[in-house]
């Protein structure tokens, strides 16, 4: 994940690796804490995640398939198959956390069905994300090892696709959460202020994982720029 370029300088571990590990641990800790608390609180509608999904589909006219998926917190919307996949802890439990997770995924459904510009741009970058991390790392390392700064700079530009994708993910995920909360209110599934606050806490904690990913990509980009810049200065 951290790239071959990190092997070229021990400063990587101090300025990139350690900060991103700490940030990721904090984000995951907050997610675990929020799920642990609100996963035990029954939502006022008394509906499991799957039942919440069907209620939203019925009342908000959002038609998708529903499937199960293994693992914890592995819930997601697959736009290629138009399917919302739910983990067992979400699909079968009538908790505030389950309701919030399902609503978030249906926020993504609504983004695609309403052709949100943000989701369209992010989707456009998905194919490039399949190769840009590996290609960028390879170009940067080869450029530095072979003293070909143009090659390394090209690698940085390619890595910029990763950063752009991560930065676009933040507003996409925040918008999906906002849409999800609105869907819960409009369909009458969220009636008490306590569960509204709980659902918001779960979604806010989950959003922090995307913040951590964006920060990681930015720190990597800055580090690679510093490597190339330092190498260029030594050539002069």
Q: What is the pLDDT of residue 195?
A: 92
Query: Looking at the annotation, which residues are catalytic?
Result: 105
8 or 26, which is more confident:
26
Contacts of 73 (CB under 8 A, 6+ apart): 31, 35, 87, 89, 101
Query: Each residue of 86-96: pLDDT tens digit?
Result: 999 999 999 99
* 7 — pLDDT class (breaks 50, 70, 90): very low
Q: What is the pLDDT of residue 175?
A: 96
Q: What is the pTM of this model?
A: 0.89
- The interaxial angle of helices 49-60 and 96-113, nearest 10 deg, is 40
For range 69-79, the mean pLDDT: 95
Neighbours of 46 (CB within 10 A): 8
Q: What is the pLDDT of residue 9?
A: 59
* 119 — pLDDT class (breaks 50, 70, 90): very high
130 or 33, which is more confident:
33
Q: What is the pLDDT of residue 5?
A: 43
Does residue 73 carry a pLDDT above 70? yes
Q: For residue 129, which of 150, 160, 151 has the smallest C-alpha distance?
A: 160
Q: What's CA 81's distance to the chain center, in Å? A: 19
Give the start-to-end residue ranges of the domains of the chain. 4-235
Tokens found for residue 226: 């510093």
Q: What is the pLDDT of residue 2?
A: 39
Q: pLDDT over 90 for what percent of the chain?
A: 81
* 3 — pLDDT class (breaks 50, 70, 90): very low
Tokens found for residue 130: 């399949």
Q: Which residue has the tokens 């741009």?
A: 121
Q: Write out the DSSP string of the chain.
A: ---GGGGG-THHIIIIIHHHHHHHHHHHHHHHHHHHHHTSSBPTT---HHHHHHHHHHHHT---EEEE-SSSS--EEETTTTEEEE-HHHHT--BHHHHHHHHHHHHHHHHHHTT-HHHHHHHHHHHHHTTHHHHHHHHHHHHHHTT-HHHHHHHHHHHHHHHHHHHHHHHHHHHHHHHHHHHHHHTT----HHHHHHHHHHHHHHHHHHHHHHHHHHHHHHHHHHHHHHHHHHH-
Tokens found for residue 170: 């933040």
Rounded-to-integer distance, Cα 225 and Cα 179, Å: 37
* 83 — pLDDT class (breaks 50, 70, 90): very high
Query: Each residue of 199-233: pLDDT tens digit?
Result: 999 999 999 999 999 999 999 999 999 988 888 87
For residues 72 and 88, is the Cβ–Cβ distance under 8 A?
no
Q: 59-68, 112-121, 186-195: which has the minimum mean pLDDT?
A: 186-195
Does residue 185 carry a pLDDT above 50? yes
For range 101-120, the mean pLDDT: 96
Q: What is the CA radius of gyration of the chain?
A: 21
């Amino acid at each position: 994940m951290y790239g071959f370029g990190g092997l070229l300088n021990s400063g990587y571990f101090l300025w990139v690796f350690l900060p991103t590990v700490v940030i990721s641990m904090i984000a995951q800790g907050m997610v675990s804490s929020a799920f642990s608390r609100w996963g035990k609180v029954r939502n006022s509608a008394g509906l499991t995640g799957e039942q919440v999904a069907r209620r939203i589909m019925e009342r908000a006219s959002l038609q998708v398939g529903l499937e199960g998926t293994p693992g914890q917190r592995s819930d997601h919307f697959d736009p290629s198959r138009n399917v919302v996949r739910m983990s067992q802890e979400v699909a079968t439990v009538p908790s505030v956390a389950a309701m919030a997770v399902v609503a978030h995924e249906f926020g993504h459904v609504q983004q695609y069905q309403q052709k949100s510009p943000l989701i369209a741009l992010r989707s456009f970058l998905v194919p490039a994300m399949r190769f840009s991390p590996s290609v960028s790392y390879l170009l940067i390392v080869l450029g530095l090892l072979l003293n070909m700064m143009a090659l390394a700079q090209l690698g940085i530009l390619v890595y910029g696709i990763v950063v752009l994708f991560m930065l676009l993910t933040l507003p996409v995920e925040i918008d999906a959460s906002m849409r999800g909360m609105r869907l819960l209110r409009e369909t009458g599934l969220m009636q008490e202020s306590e569960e509204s606050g709980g659902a918001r806490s779960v979604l806010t904690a989950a959003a922090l994982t995307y913040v951590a990913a964006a920060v990681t990509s930015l720190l990597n980009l800055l580090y690679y720029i510093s490597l190339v810049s330092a190498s260029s200065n030594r050539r002069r």
